Amino acid sequence: MADKHLYLSLIPQALIASMLKPEDFGSYYAIGAQAHVKGEAIFFEVDPAFRSDDFPFHLVDERCVIQPDGAPKRSVYLSIYRVLSRIPVSALGHLYLVTNDGRTLELERAEYVPAPTRRLHLYQEFCPITPMVASRLEPHDFCDAITNPAIPIHVPRIVFSELRLDDLALDPLNSPARDLPYSNLDHLRDVLFEMQHNDTKPSKLVFKQVKEGVLYRMVQGGFYVGDQQEFAFYRFPDRDDLENRHRNWWRSAQVTALE
């Protein structure tokens, strides 16, 4: 009998049971469902032993079964609301990044070591909120700040990636933007400059929503998930690794990012 998997989707947020392996699920979820809007997908594989009274896990045994035609059950939705905040970081396994033509890249957890240099950061948030944010805080500190219940505007748990700023991280106004694809670069420069010279706010909203979708080709460092108690880092492959070991995914990520 096929294994039953639990997936925590971030785009859109949902807990899904499936008999598909991660790579097959990624392809199905990005391009194989009529109800799914075409676009990138990001999901965690959840520990299959994870259980909580917050979710109807009885549906896994009842509905996640081989179909009459012999095909595996592709998806059984267990929840579509406040899912991330109800699944502990400790229950999250590998992270999967899917291009909008269904190619899937698997990321494992890695040790997180803060960068020694002081520079500006640009973060793309994925769940439960989706803006682009500039910050003076390194990723772990940023996670601690945005999930701090003592701050009026906070979230219980967050998933985000860091994006490249290149030389703008040190000199926002005068450095060339080169191939940075962000819309309204003048506004981004102004926000970064303010971050450098205004100590009242450690972070500031850049864009409410990233019109370009998931900017895989601009990821620097990797992806992060955490709250006040737990923090996990998923390292993004370097350029050589992408071009040599993950060539098909990388080519797809670069092409679809421009569509």
Which pLDDT score is estimated for 2?
Answer: 66
The predicted pLDDT at position 211 comes to 67
User: What's the residue count for the chain?
Assistant: 259
pLDDT tens digits, residue range 142-181? Answer: 999 999 999 988 999 999 999 999 999 999 999 999 889 8
Asked if 72 contacts 113 with a C-beta cutoff of 8 angstroms, the reply is no
- pLDDT tens profile 182-240: 988 999 999 999 998 887 889 999 998 776 678 999 999 999 999 999 999 999 999 99
Percent of the chain with pLDDT over 90: 78
Q: Over range 49-71, report the average pLDDT.
A: 95
Provide the pLDDT for residue 208: 87
Residue 142 pLDDT: 97
Residue 67 pLDDT greater than 80, yes or no: yes
Tell me what the mean pLDDT of segment 27-54 comes to: 83
Asked if 92 contacts 46 with a C-beta cutoff of 8 angstroms, the reply is yes
Q: How far apart are CA 48 and CA 92, in angstroms?
A: 10
Mean pLDDT of the chain: 92
**Residue 85, SS3 per DSSP:** helix
Please tell me the distance from the alpha carbon of residue 190 to that of residue 167, in angstroms, as a whole number: 14
**Burial class (CB within 10 angstroms; exposed 0-12, middle 13-18, buried 19+) of 118:** exposed
pLDDT at 201 (0 to 100): 86
Q: What are the DSSP E strand ranges found in the chain?
A: 5-10, 13-18, 41-46, 76-79, 92-98, 104-107, 109-110, 121-127, 132-135, 158-163, 203-207, 219-226, 231-235
DSSP 47: P
Nearest to 159 by CA among 104, 233, 229: 233
What is the CB neighbour count within 10 angstroms for residue 101? Answer: 15
Residue 33 has a pLDDT of 53
